[in-house]
């Protein structure tokens, strides 16, 4: 097969998602398995969203609206932008792929930080090869180092991904620094603000949502998702906001019918009220504080997080620890694929799941002599 394949595809390391609960139950003969591996919201979505999903099942013989019209209209209204500023995707991951396909010319590069969301890298490599991807180092606090990124904007750096807050470190950038950075980027380069975890920020302060930037500049795009705080990861709905000319280019590469009927209806319903979002954010804040204290009490280095997950350094062999956790029915994520081989990331779940994880972690670490 290798002779048949586009050589760039062979350079891609396949994405390793958190293992499915069913796999671990089967493999280790367990009844209780807790999955805290993909930064989902563990609360079930509210009744109005479930009702919208049920209603839509009567229409499944028809293709969805390819233009995502009513979804985009609701998103536009919710964010105070125009319909022409919005594009929807099958998850924001699909929009990341569209961006690279639409804008990366031969010889041009994607620039971001090390230790960030791994999809920027794989989407770049499959399209343009390993040499098209450039990573700047982080600062000492595991934050994006905007100076280091700015220093790598040469003639070929074309698309710059800024993840704020960042996955997997959970760290956030000062708003003034983000604004100053955007102002420095030449107008023939693209700045992508990936704000997937924006809703979870503890103190928005001067946080840059990107909405002022997309009004003032044509080269900035903001990515958002329904997969995290809105609890719709299983339906795959994300969106982006940018200048209408920018969105029009993305529409040229958008696959037709990309967001399902149920995805569109559920996402619209989830923007009817902020109640579920606020409940989720408050619960996350409480549970995160409790889990942080528990992990610190185990003597672990944990990175303070503005998101719905925590990055920690177990100081034992991560693969060995991961296997011990899996055997005990806990799925979290080793971070080698995100460039931090000595770290693990745990999503914040419901209190009883977090407690189970912490207890199993304590046991596994003790077994490893830590």
Ligand X SMILES: Cc1ncc(COP(=O)(O)O)c(C=O)c1O
Q: How far is the CB of 254 from ligand X (least distance, A)?
A: 15
Q: How far is the CB of 370 from ligand X (least distance, A)?
A: 29
Nearest to ligand X of 96, 269 (CB atom):
96
Nearest to ligand X of 91, 329 (CB atom):
91
Other Cβ atoms less than 10 A from the Cβ of 209: the count is 17
Q: How far is the CB of 141 from ligand X (least distance, A)?
A: 18
Judged by the rule CB under 6 A, the positions of this chain that interact with ligand X are 39, 91-93, 117, 163, 167, 194, 196, 225, 227, 233, 238
Q: How far is the CB of 112 from ligand X (least distance, A)?
A: 11
Nearest to ligand X of 46, 238 (CB atom):
238
Q: How far is the CB of 106 from ligand X (least distance, A)?
A: 26
Q: How far is the CB of 160 from ligand X (least distance, A)?
A: 14
Q: How far is the CB of 150 from ligand X (least distance, A)?
A: 21
Q: Measuring CA to CA, which residue among 309, 311, 291 is closest to residue 301?
A: 311
Sequence-distant (≥ 6) Cβ neighbours of residue 108 within 8 angstroms:
128, 132, 156, 157, 158, 159
Nearest to ligand X of 305, 364 (CB atom):
305
Nearest to ligand X of 332, 365 (CB atom):
332
Residue number of the CB atom closest to ligand X? 91
Nearest to ligand X of 85, 167 (CB atom):
167
Nearest to ligand X of 267, 361 (CB atom):
267
Cα separation, 306 vs 105, in Å, equals 35
């Amino acid at each position: 097969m290798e002779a048949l394949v586009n050589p760039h595809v062979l350079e891609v390391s396949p994405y390793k998602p958190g293992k499915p609960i069913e796999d671990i139950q089967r493999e280790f003969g367990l009844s209780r398995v807790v999955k805290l591996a993909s930064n989902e919201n563990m609360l079930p979505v509210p009744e109005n969203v479930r009702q919208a999903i049920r209603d839509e099942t009567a229409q499944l013989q028809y293709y969805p609206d390819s233009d995502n019209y009513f979804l985009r209209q609701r998103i536009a209204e919710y964010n105070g932008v125009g319909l022409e500023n919005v594009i929807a995707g099958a998850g924001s991951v699909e929009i990341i792929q569209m961006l690279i396909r639409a804008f990366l010319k031969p010889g041009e590069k994607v620039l971001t930080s090390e230790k960030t969301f791994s999809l920027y890298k794989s989407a770049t490599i499959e399209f343009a090869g390993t040499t098209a991807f450039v990573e700047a180092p982080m600062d000492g606090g595991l934050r994006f180092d905007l100076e280091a990124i700015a220093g790598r904007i040469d003639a070929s750096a074309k698309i710059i991904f800024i993840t704020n807050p960042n996955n997997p470190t959970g760290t956030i950038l000062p708003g003034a620094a983000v604004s100053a950075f955007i102002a420095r980027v030449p107008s023939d380069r693209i700045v992508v603000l990936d704000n997937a975890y924006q809703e979870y920020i503890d103190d928005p302060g001067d946080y840059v949502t990107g909405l002022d930037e997309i009004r003032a500049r044509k080269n900035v795009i903001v990515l958002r998702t329904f997969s995290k705080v809105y609890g719709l990861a299983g339906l795959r709905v994300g969106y982006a906001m940018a200048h209408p000319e920018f969105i029009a280019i993305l529409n040229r590469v958008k696959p037709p019918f990309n967001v399902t009927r149920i995805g569109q209806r559920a996402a619209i319903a989830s923007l009817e009220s902020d109640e579920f979002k606020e409940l989720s954010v408050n619960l996350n804040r409480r549970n995160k504080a409790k889990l942080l204290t528990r992990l610190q009490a185990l003597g672990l280095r944990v990175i303070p997080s503005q998101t719905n997950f925590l990055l920690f350094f177990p100081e034992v062999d991560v693969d060995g620890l991961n296997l011990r956790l899996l055997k005990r029915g806990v799925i979290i994520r080793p971070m080698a694929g995100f460039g931090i081989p000595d770290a693990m990331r745990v999503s914040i779940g419901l209190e009883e799941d977090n407690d189970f994880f912490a207890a199993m972690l304590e046991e596994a670490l003790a077994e490893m002599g830590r």
